[in-house]
């Protein structure tokens, strides 16, 4: 499947030519736009304009400016998104704000098997607030009922599961939770930029995400926080000077800024934000609907190819075949997944491994093509058939992201 | 005063040639080392090595690696400093950890007139924990006695006052507080890199700082956190996945890493940290003792010049004349300070204004010289004598950092 606007954008990705990059769900690649924004921010803005750049180049508003670039990608209104801190820190803020809003209840419900930082953060907040004011319950989201949420103040869950690639029904779960009297915080780490999102029409309360995956903002690039307009009266639990109503008056009393700015804490890296600002320029030239179509065609083709392959007898597909339940990565479970993943990387097929036996293939519609799905599956077939993964060099585990 | 090792380093600062830069206490300039590290991190590491760079280029350990670069600059042992998040977020973590350690007390004492984010953050933590578990008291640090701290769990204060440039007696105040049963968190924003510090020998409990001022790490560069070894058993109140004992095992239960790593929360910007890593290379070629000597000679010369100037009749020196009580900036209070500061900037003398009537002159021993002190004072004399600052263009206030 081809799409002219996406075809035009593909050439901006400065990808190494000898690799098939299927790990954009972990780290998006460098683009010419991100590179140009970085060089400008470093050499001209910091290097030549120095402290005057805070005004001259709008550094002081960058978290809001970049937030406004993210807004249309996730179906949010301008002014409801801010780009700052990490996803984890933003989740802490969103959960605390949700507990403050829904203050007749004290429970945070989390998805049991989601990316664990979400549950760690919820537990850390509960520990700080004390058991009488906050408790955390883990639940199996696939069996969630309104009854499970009858005493929940806020439900926190991932839109796309990091292991299986399962896409949750955001409007349905949000409505279910709200009918049961709970607020919802969605973690968009694996869906922003590849799945059509409409936070406003789904009446989502809060959402958090990162910009280093499918948004291509750079390694460890800042997170973002969405708060529905009516929730922007809640307090930031880490109220730093950048969220003050009058930052440069240095008043002894904290008075939160109006709107999304109150969710700022300290000073943000201008260089990191400049990379994100550059990377997001590409999203002005394509629609998320088109990206979703291409993403689905890539994952669909990959799954179909797997079904026709001898590999389907020795591996299990963890990712839903139903388009409406699938994000933008496909996960296979198989024996010897770790050494096999290392052999794939050695062959230039960049994927990642997840405990205990999963190989994840991430498909980024902005730059991956059907040829990539074929090359990846062929390489996997050859590695498994030849048992080449048994070589000692593929057995050694080190840190893998 | 000249120093050969500092003379050698001065040429690495990529400063605009038409300006006298006396605002390194707000934003340190770009250096060739920071620039080179950035280009390498962007083009090669991110651009070509992509996700493999997390291992290949040590991205995963960068917060600790950069922390170990900061350690000798602040008199800390290797392994006791981590570079991450913002100063404000790190202060939140340090205050919470200190309350946990000193758990028979519930009070945070803060300096009444210090940089206000410190007090906002303390109040935010108290609000989250509840009044029965944490309260905040503001105190006049210049009159601090042991009695004031008799029920204090943790005292939080700035090493150098952001307005006046007053340097506090770190060993003396730390000992006073600890004898009264309190822990101490020092904010090193205005002292790291220009004042000799010995956190370990002063038995400091916690410290936080930023890297974008005298450490030249770039606009909004990450903060750092120091925790004395024995305090590294305390919990991080925002426990994200990067502080887990086994990051990539994605375990449902949070188990903090041993040592300083537990104070990490989410993923950090590799690009922002790379700039800091580059900038800190310069500190391997000079000693902080030499930097302190040059800093004092610059501020001493500036103050002596002011005393001989007609300006001393129309302005007040807010900064202590006693070397042992002075950081690395000098503040003058005078009528019409705002338009005067704008006229100075227009003349290429880059300083900053602080409410209500303060002009701050920051002296960075790595690149400022005695010629800069003379040019700044001459320009100020000319502007005041000519009343040129009365021009309408100098009256308009916008954001100033």
d(C-alpha A113, C-alpha A162), whole Å: 9
d(C-alpha B266, C-alpha B361), whole Å: 36
Shortest alpha-carbon distance between residue A265 and chain B (Å) = 7
Q: Does B175 touch chain A (CB under 8 A)?
A: no
Residue B270 to residue A219, Cβ atoms within 8 A:
yes
Paired strand residues for A158: A187
Tokens of A381: 């077939």
- Predicted complex ipTM exceeds 0.95: yes
CA-based nearest residue in chain A for residue B163? A250
Share of chain B above pLDDT 90, in %: 95
Q: Kindly compute the dihedral angle of the four CA atoms of residues A232, B133, A247, A63, in this order, to the nearest 10 degrees.
A: -50
The 3-state DSSP composition of chain B as helix, strand, coil percent (nearest 5) reads 45, 15, 40
Tokens of B188: 């090193």
Q: What are the strands, taking DSSP E only, across B279-328?
A: 315-317
As a whole number, mean pLDDT of residues B140-158 equals 95
Which chain A residues are Cβ-neighbours of B248 within 8 angstroms?
A: 355, 399-401
Which chain A residues are Cβ-neighbours of B20 within 8 angstroms?
A: none
Cα→Cα distances B99→A216, B205, B242, B264, Å: 39, 12, 23, 18
Interface of B with A in 5-34 (CB under 8 A): 14, 16, 19, 21, 23, 26-27, 29-30
CA angle B355, B357, B361 (to 5 degrees): 90
On average, the pLDDT of chain A sits at: 96
Residue A264 CB neighbours (<10 A): 29
pLDDT at residue B400 above 80?
Answer: no
As a whole number, mean pLDDT of residues A99-123 equals 95
As a whole number, mean pLDDT of residues B373-379 equals 97
Decide: pTM greater than 0.90.
yes
Residue A355 to residue B250, Cβ atoms within 8 A:
yes
pLDDT at residue B401 above 60?
Answer: no
Shortest alpha-carbon distance between residue A62 and chain B (Å) = 11
Cα→Cα distances A282→A64, A308, A365, Å: 18, 35, 12
Q: Does residue B133 have a cis bond before it (omega within 30 degrees)?
A: no
Q: In what order do the strands lie in the sheet with B183-187?
A: B81-83, B223-227, B206-210, B183-187, B152-158, B107-111, B135-139
Shortest alpha-carbon distance between residue B304 and chain A (Å) = 27
d(C-alpha B230, C-alpha A232), whole Å: 40
Residue B85 to residue A266, Cβ atoms within 8 A:
yes
Tokens of A265: 């804490």
Per-residue pLDDT, B1: 64
Q: What are phi and psi of A120, to 5 degrees?
A: -60, -45
Q: What are phi and psi of B256, to 5 degrees?
A: -65, 145
Q: Which residues, at least 6 apart from B215, have a Cβ–Cβ distance to it below 8 Å?
A: B28, B70, B73, B192, B193, B221, B276, B279, B280, B283
Domains of chain B: 4-30+287-394 (3.90.1150.10), 33-284 (3.40.640.10)
In tens, the pLDDT along A68-77 reads 999 999 999 9
Nearest one of A129, A360, A50, A88 to A223, comparing CA atoms: A88
pLDDT confidence bin for A2, thresholds 50/70/90: confident
Is A187 tagged catalytic?
Answer: yes
- How many Cβ pairs closer than 8 A exist between chain A and B? 291
As a whole number, mean pLDDT of residues B332-345 equals 97
| Catalytic hit among B213, B305, B326, B354 | B213
Shortest alpha-carbon distance between residue B18 and chain A (Å) = 10
pLDDT at residue A248 above 50?
Answer: yes
Collapsing DSSP to helix, strand or coil, A13 comes out as strand
Per-residue pLDDT, B146: 95
Nearest one of B162, B148, B147 to B109, comparing CA atoms: B148
Q: Does B140 touch chain A (CB under 8 A)?
A: no
In tens, the pLDDT along B303-316 reads 999 999 999 999 99
Nearest one of A124, A210, A270, A120 to B242, comparing CA atoms: A120
Q: What is the DSSP string of A235-261?
A: PPSS--GGGBTTGGG--SS--BPSGGG
Shortest alpha-carbon distance between residue A362 and chain B (Å) = 12
In tens, the pLDDT along A129-172 reads 999 999 999 999 999 999 999 999 999 999 999 999 999 999 99
d(C-alpha B11, C-alpha B367), whole Å: 8
pLDDT confidence bin for A113, thresholds 50/70/90: confident
On average, the pLDDT of chain B sits at: 96
Q: Which of B129, B352, B398 sits opposite A129 (nearest CB)?
A: B129
Residue A49 CB neighbours (<10 A): 15
pLDDT at residue B31 above 70?
Answer: yes
Q: Does B245 touch chain A (CB under 8 A)?
A: no
Per-residue pLDDT, A114: 86
Q: Which residues, at least 6 apart from A392, have a Cβ–Cβ distance to it below 8 Å?
A: none
| Residue reference for tokens 């279910």 | A176
Least confident of A84-88, A352-356, B217-221: A352-356
pLDDT confidence bin for A399, thresholds 50/70/90: low
Which chain A residues are Cβ-neighbours of B23 within 8 angstroms?
A: 50-51
Is A105 tagged catalytic?
Answer: no
Nearest one of A309, A308, A288 to A366, comparing CA atoms: A288
Is B360 tagged catalytic?
Answer: yes
d(C-alpha B261, C-alpha B71), whole Å: 14
How deeply is B121 buried, as exposed, middle or buried, from its count of CB atoms within 10 A (0-12, 13-18, 19+)?
buried
Share of chain B above pLDDT 70, in %: 99
Collapsing DSSP to helix, strand or coil, B65 comes out as helix
pLDDT at residue A230 above 60?
Answer: yes
pLDDT confidence bin for A1, thresholds 50/70/90: low
Q: Does A264 touch chain B (CB under 8 A)?
A: no
In tens, the pLDDT along B53-111 reads 999 999 999 999 999 999 999 999 999 999 999 999 999 999 999 999 999 999 999 99
Shortest alpha-carbon distance between residue A222 and chain B (Å) = 7
d(C-alpha B265, C-alpha B269), whole Å: 12
Which chain A residues are Cβ-neighbours of B116 within 8 angstroms?
A: 241, 244, 250-252, 254
Q: Which residues, at least 6 apart from B386, have a Cβ–Cβ distance to it below 8 Å?
A: none
d(C-alpha A290, C-alpha A3), whole Å: 7
Q: Does A119 touch chain B (CB under 8 A)?
A: yes
d(C-alpha A260, C-alpha A233), whole Å: 9
Q: What are the strands, taking DSSP E only, across B132-275?
A: 135-139, 152-158, 183-187, 206-210, 223-227
Q: Which of B130, B212, B265 sits opposite A130 (nearest CB)?
A: B130
Per-residue pLDDT, B399: 52
Interface of B with A in 349-388 (CB under 8 A): 350, 352, 354-355
Share of chain A above pLDDT 70, in %: 99
Q: HEC profile for A326-370?
A: ECCEEEEEECCHHHHHHHHHHCCEECEEECCCEEEEECCCCCCCH
Per-residue pLDDT, A130: 97
Per-residue pLDDT, A400: 47
């Amino acid at each position: 499947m081809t799409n002219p606007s996406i075809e035009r954008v593909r050439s901006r990705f400065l990808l190494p030519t000898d690799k098939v990059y299927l790990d954009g769900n972990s780290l998006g690649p460098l683009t010419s736009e991100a590179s140009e924004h970085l060089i400008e921010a470093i050499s001209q803005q910091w290097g030549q304009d120095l402290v005057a750049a805070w005004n001259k180049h709008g550094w002081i508003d960058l978290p809001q400016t970049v937030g406004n670039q993210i807004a249309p990608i996730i179906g949010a209104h301008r002014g409801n998104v801010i780009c700052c801190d990490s996803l984890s820190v933003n989740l802490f803020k969103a959960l605390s704000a949700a507990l403050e809003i829904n203050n007749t209840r004290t429970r945070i419900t989390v998805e049991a098997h989601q990316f664990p930082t979400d549950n760690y953060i919820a537990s850390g907040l509960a520990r700080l607030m004390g058991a009488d004011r906050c408790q955390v319950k883990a639940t199996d989201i696939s069996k969630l009922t309104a009854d499970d949420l009858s005493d929940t103040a806020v439900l926190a869950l991932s839109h796309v599961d990091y292991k299986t690639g399962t896409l949750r029904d955001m409007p349905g779960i949000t409505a279910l939770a709200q009918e049961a009297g709970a607020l919802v915080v969605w973690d968009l780490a694996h869906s922003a930029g590849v799945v059509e999102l409409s936070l406003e029409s789904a009446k989502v309360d809060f959402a958090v995400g990162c910009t280093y995956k499918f948004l291509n903002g750079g390694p460890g690039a800042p997170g973002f926080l969405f708060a529905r307009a009516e929730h922007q009266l809640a307090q930031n639990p880490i109220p730093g000077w950048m969220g003050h109503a009058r930052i440069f008056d240095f008043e002894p009393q904290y008075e939160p800024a109006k709107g999304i700015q109150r969710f700022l804490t300290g000073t943000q890296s201008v260089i990191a934000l400049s990379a994100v600002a550059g990377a997001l320029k590409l999203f002005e030239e394509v629609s998320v609907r088109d990206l979703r179509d291409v993403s689905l065609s890539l994952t669909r083709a990959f799954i179909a190819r797997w079904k026709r392959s001898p590999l389907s007898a020795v591996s299990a597909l963890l990712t839903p075949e139903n388009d409406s339940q699938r994000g933008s990565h496909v996960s296979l479970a198989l024996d010897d997944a770790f050494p096999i993943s290392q052999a794939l990387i050695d062959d230039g097929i960049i994927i990642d491994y997840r405990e205990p036996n999963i190989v994840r293939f991430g498909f980024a519609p902005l730059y991956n093509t059907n040829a990539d799905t074929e090359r990846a599956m062929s390489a996997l077939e050859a590695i498994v058939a030849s048992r080449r993964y048994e070589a000692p060099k593929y057995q050694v585990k080190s840190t893998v992201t």
